[in-house]
Structure 1
Amino acid sequence: MSNSVGVVIVAAGKGTRMGTAESKQYLLLQDKPILVHTLEVFQRQAFISEIVLVTGEEDVPRCREWIEAYGLDKVKAVLPGGTERQHSVRRGLEALNTTWVMVHDGVRPFVQDREIHACFERAKEVGASVLAAPVKDTIKQVDGGGFVVHTPDRRSLWAIQTPQTFRLSALLAAYEAAEREGFLGTDDSSLAERAGIKVSVVEGSYANIKITTPEDLVFAEFTVRTRGESQT
């Protein structure tokens, strides 16, 4: 059990940037909800033993139906999320019974098997890891008046993705500390970092997008179609 791995899939957000009545994670991609595509990626990883899905309270019943319909038998629980992503993740963490945990966004269906494996292997080596991609664009730091105040060295900048991998006990402790101190982070790594955990970056793909806008959905449909054509 020392290397047992669980996954928390976070899909409790509403998301307004997509401009649709339906939440982005439930939009169809080739006649299948985006969330199901994501779950299937982790379902097929032999080294992963259990998955917890955290979603909106009103969406729990239909998610359970999809899990049954698509044979996602590694999903051990479907839980209602909290008001913030951080609260949702913590509920998922508390439902796992593994040594390691990978936290992943429900709207990142294009993460590759090799990236998931690399993320876990790196975490086993150093304690914690996050998938990320080097920033391609020049980034400017801008003040409140809209003026550039700094141009950071692009070579030191990475766009952070998921999965993010940690020892479950260490990440839970980081979440508990953040709650005690009223800290709200933007991702799991930010909570781990402030708890003193060193987090290593694992280079991922630019294709591992988080589907949040109509433009992302167009790219997602193109990606699914071209992958399908390459396998025929």
Structure 2
Amino acid sequence: MEYTVMMPAAGSGQRMGAGYNKLFLKLEGKPILAHTLGVFEGDSACKGIILAVKPDERSVIESMLEQFAITKVTAMVDGGGERQNSVAACIRAYDGDGVVLVHDAARPFIRRAVINELVKVAAEHGAAIAGVRAKDTMKFASAGVVEETVDRDMLWIIQTPQAFRYALLQEASTRAEVEGFLGTDESMLVERLGYSVRIVESTYDNVKMTTQEDLVFGEILLKSSRI
């Protein structure tokens, strides 16, 4: 089942301590962004990628696409100040229908089996998000004092991709923009419209490259994938 992926790539390297867009940092000599794009480039079900980028990084990314033979980027739009703004720009640039995915450009280890299941579930039910079950004991605390031990069997750590029927995502994004609502992810925008969102179980190695420690883990994952 075909899909289009929308990928905000206009972030910074603040938490990574890079001083520039962390997506240009390299794992085994290849930029994080190129690794992530490569997952979708190699998926025959992916019919296109829309990137939200910083205007002053557009030429660098265009060179990267050429260097690593990434051909499925159909549009690059200017990213906004917040992730939600960048995704909204991608939504406005899309003129199709069917299922669309929103994926963090800094998650290069998403597995295609998870992508395929997300697309399938979203096509049937409208919305599906990737997540993994919480493994540790979870506490609810206020001002550093535990108020409750939360049942971890009910808790999920949410990742991307997040998959939606395009019309539903467009409606959720437009409503949030009109009402001045800023959510933490696209699922939250859909949830506030009253729609049910299904969870597709992902893998713990679908890590977002956010800190220096994540880069070390990423190098290990790349090496282990070749064993």
Does the Cα contact within 8 Å between 1:134 and 1:157 map onto a contact in 2?
yes
Query: CA shift at 1:202, angstroms?
Result: 0.2
SS in 2 for 1:140: strand
Moved over 2 A (4+): none
Please identify, of 98-107 and 203-212, the stretch whose mean Cα deviation from structure 2 is larger.
98-107
Q: Please, what TM-score do these two structures have when normalized by structure 1?
A: 0.94
SS in 2 for 1:52: strand
Structure 1 residue identity aligned to 2:91? L
| Cα distance in 1, alignment partners of residues 21 and 73 from structure 2 | 21
Q: Which residue of 1 aligns with 2:51?
A: 53
Q: Which residue of 1 aligns with 2:135?
A: 136
Q: Which residue of 1 aligns with 2:66?
A: 68
| Cα distance in 1, alignment partners of residues 51 and 62 from structure 2 | 10
| Cα distance in 1, alignment partners of residues 132 and 139 from structure 2 | 18
Q: Which residue of 2 aligns with 1:171?
A: 169
Does the Cα contact within 8 Å between 2:13 and 2:19 map onto a contact in 1?
no
| Cα distance in 1, alignment partners of residues 134 and 32 from structure 2 | 25
Please show how residues 32-111 of structure 1 align to structure 2 within 5 Å. 32-99=30-97, 100-111=99-110
Please show how residues 138-157 of structure 1 align to structure 2 within 5 Å. 138-143=137-142, 145-157=143-155
Q: Which residue of 1 aligns with 2:123?
A: 124
Alignment: residue pair count: 226
Please give the root-mean-square deviation of Cα atoms over the aligned residues, in Å: 1.2
Please identify, of 27-36 and 90-99, the stretch whose mean Cα deviation from structure 2 is larger.
90-99
Deviations 1:12-63 (A, max 9, x none): 1114111122321110111110001000101111111111011222211111
SS in 2 for 1:108: coil
Query: CA shift at 1:98, angstroms?
Result: 2.8
Q: 1:5 aligns with which of 3, 8, 22?
A: 3
Question: Quick check: 1:190 aligned with 2:227?
Answer: no
Does the Cα contact within 8 Å between 1:9 and 1:51 map onto a contact in 2?
yes
Query: CA shift at 1:105, angstroms?
Result: 0.2
Does the Cα contact within 8 Å between 2:8 and 2:53 map onto a contact in 1?
yes
Please identify, of 203-212 and 24-33, the stretch whose mean Cα deviation from structure 2 is larger.
24-33
Does the Cα contact within 8 Å between 2:126 and 2:168 map onto a contact in 1?
no
Does the Cα contact within 8 Å between 1:55 and 1:79 map onto a contact in 2?
yes
Query: CA shift at 1:4, angstroms?
Result: 4.5
Structure 2 residue identity aligned to 1:86? Q
| Cα distance in 2, alignment partners of residues 121 and 146 from structure 1 | 42
Structure 1 residue identity aligned to 2:140? Q
SS in 2 for 1:142: strand
Q: 1:26 aligns with which of 19, 24, 27?
A: 24
Query: CA shift at 1:111, angstroms?
Result: 0.3
Deviations 1:102-131 (A, max 9, x none): 000000000011111111111122111001
SS in 1 for 2:26: coil
| Cα distance in 1, alignment partners of residues 176 and 120 from structure 2 | 27
SS in 2 for 1:163: strand
Gap regions ≥5 residues in structure 2? none
Deviations 1:53-96 (A, max 9, x none): 11222211111111122221110112220000000001011112
Q: Which residue of 1 aligns with 2:221?
A: 223
SS in 1 for 2:40: helix
SS in 1 for 2:103: strand
Q: 1:180 aligns with which of 155, 178, 181?
A: 178
Gap regions ≥5 residues in structure 1? none
Please identify, of 187-196 and 17-26, the stretch whose mean Cα deviation from structure 2 is larger.
17-26
